[in-house]
Structure 1
Amino acid sequence: MLLRLPVSVTEAQQYLAEGAVPVGGATLVWATWQRDGFPEQAMSLRHVPEANVLGPRSLGAAVVLERIDDRVPRVLRDAAASVGTGAVRRAATVGGNLVGSALRCLLPAALVLDARATVLEPDGVRETDLTEVLAKRHLLLGLHWREPLASAHCKQPGEAGGRPPLVVATAVHEEHEEREGHTASRRLRVAVRDGYGVLTGSVPYSTGTADNTDNADGTGSTGTEQLLRTLRHSAFHTLSPAAWEEVRRQVTGVLASAG
């Protein structure tokens, strides 16, 4: 097998057109290749600058999970830290996790950030949404998003060989800034990996409607409860009571953090 290591997008396009198979961090494909046979050519984006971006609003597909730090939002940082062991995180890449993995541990975080994807094709680079990337298994070059006001992530403990552990990710984005005589408009996004599937939902709200002052019965503010009811009866009605309680806990916290 010939491993191609392009140093530019143009060179990567050339190798892709010649039939080179993307390798990612090789943590997922190596065992398959050992079983089914190695391709004639493989390609890693580890030396392509656009695939190695790491910042507050963008993340390259070739970045290994161990490198993801506080330059990205908390939800994405915590999601990366929850993947496998230290050895896995030192080799696994963002692109491999999102496109090559059945678990896609980074997907809920990327969805609540409303991330857009840049993909590399033989005839050029273009932007698309994550739904298309996953459905068509495009070669991911990177992700970009707007900085959230607040975000959070939780992955429950799982058993080896058992059902994938529950993952809950949340983020709040500002949609319209506060102006004189008008309140700010925000959007709460929630994504839940329940088994192998991912449920998503979002709800807009104005500042003041999600104030987190506890009511006498301890259920939380009227505004927060209204947002939770909207989410529960739309996107997340199939969740178990235990899973929904984790969503409730995290939504209450992220709304408080957003202020």
Structure 2
Amino acid sequence: MLLRLPTSVSEARDCLAEGAIPVGGATLIWAAWQRDGFPEQAVSLRKVPEATAVGNGVLGGAVLLGQVDERVPEVLRQAAKGVGTGAVRRAATVGGNIAGSSLRDLLPAAIVLDAWADVLTADGVEQVDLAEVQAKSPVLLSLRWREPVKGAYAKVADPAGGEVPTIAAAALDTEGVLRVAVREGYVVSSGSAGAGGGGVDELFAGPLSGLSDTGRSLARRQVTAVLGE
């Protein structure tokens, strides 16, 4: 297998156009390649500046989870910190987790930050919302977001019976909009509302009404942490 390491967006685009398979930390696809066979060529974005940026409202898709630090909002940093083991975080990438994983531990944090993504295609760079990222699993060049006033994140440490851990995140933006997102199993539920005037109750009676008791309780705690109630 030929691993191509472009140093610019245009070079990376050419790699995709020529059939190179995107690879981040390869934590998700290595076993499948060993089982099914390796592609003729793969492409990594780890030398593309736009894909390795951290800070000033952007997080590159090729950034390792272990490199996510205080230059990004706390809610996103905690999400990255909670993924797997230290060894996993030293190999897995932001783009692989959000766009390439079925678990997508970082997705609830990205949703409450009202984030969007720059994705790389053979035709160029496109800006898409997180719904499209979930639906199409594109090559994520970078993640951008709305800076929060405050955010909170929690993950159930040891779920019973080997179940997928429940994750809840909440954030309040500068316009007074509260966003909440919860992952239960492989499903992420989310919604937004004004932080006052019964908006929180409407949120849990509406888009978050299908949460389990565990998910609802965890989400309520993150809302309380954000709003200081």
CA contact (8 A) 1:167 1:192 kept: yes
In the TM superposition, 1:1-259 aligns within 5 A as: 1-159=1-159, 162-175=162-175, 186-205=176-195, 209=196, 223=197, 226-256=198-228
Contact 2:177–2:193 at 8 Å: present in 1 too? yes
Spell out, residue by residue over 1:193-248, the C-alpha distance to the aligned partner (whole angstroms, 9 max, x if none). Answer: 0111000010024xxx4xxxxxxxxxxxxx5xx23311111011111223212211
Q: How far does residue 48 in structure 1 lie from its aligned partner after superposition? A: 0.2
Name the CA distance, whole Å, in 1 between partners of 2:174 and 2:94: 26
Give distance in 1, aligned partners of 2:160 and 2:207. 29
Shift of 1:256: 2.0
CA distance in structure 2 between the partners assigned to 1:246 and 1:227 by the alignment: 18
Letter in 2 for 1:252: T
Q: Which amino acid aligns with 1:197?
A: V
- AA aligned to 1:21 is I
Unaligned runs of 5+ in 2: none
Q: Size of the alignment, in residue pairs?
A: 229
How big is the shift at 1:56?
Answer: 4.1
Query: Which amino acid is the alignment partner of residue 182 of structure 2?
Result: V
Q: Give the Cα–Cα distance (whole angstroms) in 1 for the partners of residues 77 and 19 of structure 2.
A: 33
**Greater CA deviation, 17-26 or 227-236?**
227-236
Q: Which runs of 5+ in 1 are unaligned?
A: 176-185, 210-222
Structure 2 length normalisation: TM-score? 0.96
SS of the equivalent of 1:149 reads strand
Distance 1:155 1:172 in 2: 19
Q: For 2:16 and 2:182, locate their aligned partners in 1 and report how far apart those are by CA, in whole Å.
A: 34
Shift of the 28–161 alpha-carbon distance from structure 1 to 2, 3 Å rule, reads farther
Give the CA deviation at 1:126. 1.3
State the identity %. 59
Distance (whole Å) between structure 2 residues aligned to residue 17 and residue 161 of structure 1: 44
Whole-angstrom distance in 2 between the partners of 1:116 and 1:242: 28
Looking at structure 2, the residues matched to 19 and 86 of structure 1 have their Cα atoms a distance apart, in angstroms, of: 32
Q: Distance in 2 between matches of 1:249 and 1:161?
A: 24
Letter in 2 for 1:2: L
Could you say what the CA RMSD is over the residues aligned between the two structures, in angstroms?
A: 1.5
Q: Distance in 2 between matches of 1:4 and 1:97?
A: 21
The answer to whether the 8 A contact 1:56-1:147 is kept is no
Q: Give the whole-Å Cα distance in 1 for the aligned partners of 2:98 and 2:161.
A: 20
3-state SS of the aligned residue for 2:78? helix
1:218 maps to: none
Rg: which structure is higher?
Answer: 1
Cα contact 1:56–1:73 (8 A) shared by 2: no
Structure 2: how far apart are the matches of 1:227 and 1:250?
15
Alpha-carbon distance, 1:21 to partner: 0.3
Partner of 1:220: none
